[in-house]
Each structure stands twice: as C-alpha cells, then as structure tokens.
C-alpha cells in the first residue's frame, strides 16, 4: 500500500511516465490535474483519475524510471553498459563496490540496487556540485542506506582496506591500478568505462607494470539495436545509440 512520501510512477493512456510523490499536492499534466493525496492508501496497479476524467495507472518506480527522471550533472552510464558491468564482473548482493567518479549517480544507483541492503557502494567524486546531485538522486532511489559518497580524488588513494570490486568512470583509470592492487580481494574485478580508444590503449600500457596481479583482460563495447513494433511491421529503428564507451575488465589474482 502506498504511504505519504512514497515515490510513485503514473502512466497515462499514451504510455507517458510521470514520477511523483504521494503528498497533499496537485500535479498538472496536459491530460488534467491529479490530486496526489488520492494516491495514499492505494495499491500499485490501481488508477487515479484526473479532473478531465483521464485515467493514470499507478506503478512502483524501478531504478530505470528513477534514472530517466532524475537530475543530471555529467553524462551517465547507460543501462546497457551498467548491465554488462554487473553481469561480467559478477557483482552480487552483499558485495562492497568502490566506485569513481559518482557524476550524476546513475551507475551508483544500478550498483546499489544489485548489492542490496547488505552491500555497500563507496563512491569517490572530485566535484562537490556533482556529489550533491548524486546524493539527492541516490536518496530518491531509496539507497542512501548503502551508498557513501566521498568528496575525494581516487587517484590519491583508496581509504577502504578491501573491496569486492572497483568500478571506474573517469578519464585515467590506470592511475587507480596501484591502489586496486592493495584493496581488491582475490577474484574481484577492476572495471573501467572509458569513451575513447586512446584511453583504453593508455590503460593497457600502464597495465603492463601490474599484470602479474591480474588475469583475464577483456574489453567490450555494447551495441543495442532496438526494434519498432507496429501492427503491420516490426523492423530495426532507423537510429540507435551507436557509441557510449569501452568497458575494460581485469580480474585480481
């Protein structure tokens, strides 16, 4: 049952999504005004009706709804890349993951979702303004209990004594290799997301010095081709998100 203060997803007859809070306020849409107080004590799957008589279905928002609607600072890691990071590194409930930089907090939210209430995500960020945005987004997603955002340069070192995995989205992941050797548990993954080929090249040049500590270097790029589904025709969409980043995985011995 929905309680006052809960985040709720409303979906209109066109499939348009609205992320709202169950509260004593009005929410204005082009399909009419909704009294958000009416959401309290309803169940997910039920509906509310706007003053124009339009029906809005009530759903529980998932991480993708939160990330789609949250405030952004820098460019986020997309779900297709977050998915492969989590799957290939085997990130699991209860894990401790060290992340940098936090940016808008999108990858942080995906990681927090998978490590669960028994896990921890410790995220380093250089910029106070981004750390503030990310903190709000993490709170909106309901993961403040398991995420710690630190205003620190991860190139200077990692405070934590050990971690199951290290996940990086910053310009020079090779600068974190000496710290990862100290902190990563055997079997844990070091993952670096970088948009440019020269960053991957530079990473592997630096990696030569540390290769005795790691095995299984792997670099992937994820391409997702979506299809248009119409009654008479299903075909690939004419446009796609062609390139986001290269994802490098190395595993600690």
Binding site for ligand SAM (CB under 6 A): 74-77, 100-101, 103-107, 124-127, 130, 153-155, 169-171
Cβ nearer to ligand SAM, comparing 61 with 103 = 103
Cβ nearer to ligand SAM, comparing 12 with 81 = 81
| The token pair that represents 205 in the structure block | 């040049």
Tell me how far, at minimum, the Cβ of 24 lies from ligand SAM, in Å: 32
Q: Kind and range of the H or E element at 85?
A: helix 79-89
Tell me how far, at minimum, the Cβ of 73 lies from ligand SAM, in Å: 6
Report whether 94 belongs to an annotated binding site. Answer: no
Tell me how far, at minimum, the Cβ of 152 lies from ligand SAM, in Å: 7
Q: Which segments within the chain are labelled E, that is strand? A: 7-11, 17-21, 26-29, 32-35, 47-49, 55-59, 96-100, 120-125, 147-151, 165-168, 189-194, 214-220, 227-229, 234-236, 246-252
Report whether 169 belongs to an annotated binding site. Answer: yes
Per DSSP bridges, beta strands 7-11 and 214-220 are unpaired
Report whether 156 belongs to an annotated binding site. Answer: no
Closest residue to ligand SAM using C-beta atoms = 101
Cβ nearer to ligand SAM, comparing 106 with 177 = 106
Tell me how far, at minimum, the Cβ of 162 lies from ligand SAM, in Å: 19
Per DSSP bridges, beta strands 120-125 and 96-100 are parallel
Report whether 125 belongs to an annotated binding site. Answer: yes
Cβ nearer to ligand SAM, comparing 198 with 238 = 198
Q: Which residues pair with 156 in a beta bridge?
A: none
> For residues 142 and 67, what is the distance between their CA atoms, to the nearest angstrom?
12
C-beta separation of 77 from 64 below 8 A: no
Report whether 104 belongs to an annotated binding site. Answer: yes
Report whether 22 belongs to an annotated binding site. Answer: no
> For residues 62 and 79, what is the distance between their CA atoms, to the nearest angstrom?
12
**Binding residue ranges for S-adenosyl-L-methionine:** 104-107, 125, 169
**Binding residue ranges:** 104-107, 125, 169
């Amino acid at each position: 049952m929905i309680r006052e203060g809960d985040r709720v997803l409303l979906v209109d007859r066109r499939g348009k999504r609205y992320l709202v809070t169950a509260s004593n306020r009005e929410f204005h849409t082009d399909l009419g005004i909704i009294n958000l107080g009416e959401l309290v004590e309803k169940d997910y799957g039920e509906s509310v009706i706007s003053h124009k008589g339009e029906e809005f279905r009530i759903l529980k928002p998932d991480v993708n709804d939160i990330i789609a609607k949250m405030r952004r600072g820098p460019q986020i890691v997309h779900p297709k890349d977050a998915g492969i990071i989590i799957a290939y590194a085997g990130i699991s409930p209860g894990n401790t993951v060290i992340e940098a930089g936090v940016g808008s907090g999108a990858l942080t939210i995906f990681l927090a979702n998978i490590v669960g209430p028994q896990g921890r995500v410790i995220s380093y960020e250089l910029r106070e303004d981004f750390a503030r945005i990310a903190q709000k987004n993490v709170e909106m997603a309901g993961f403040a209990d398991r995420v710690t955002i630190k205003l620190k340069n991860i190139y200077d070192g990692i405070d934590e004594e050990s971690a199951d995995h290290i996940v990086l989205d910053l310009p020079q992941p090779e600068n974190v290799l000496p710290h990862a050797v100290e902190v990563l548990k055997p079997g844990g993954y070091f993952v670096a997301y970088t948009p440019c080929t020269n960053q991957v090249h530079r990473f592997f040049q630096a990696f030569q010095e540390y290769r005795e500590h790691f095995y299984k270097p792997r670099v992937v790029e994820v391409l997702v081709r979506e299809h248009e589904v119409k009654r008479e025709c299903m075909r690939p969409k004419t446009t796609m998100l062609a390139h986001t980043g290269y994802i490098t995985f190395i595993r600690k011995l």
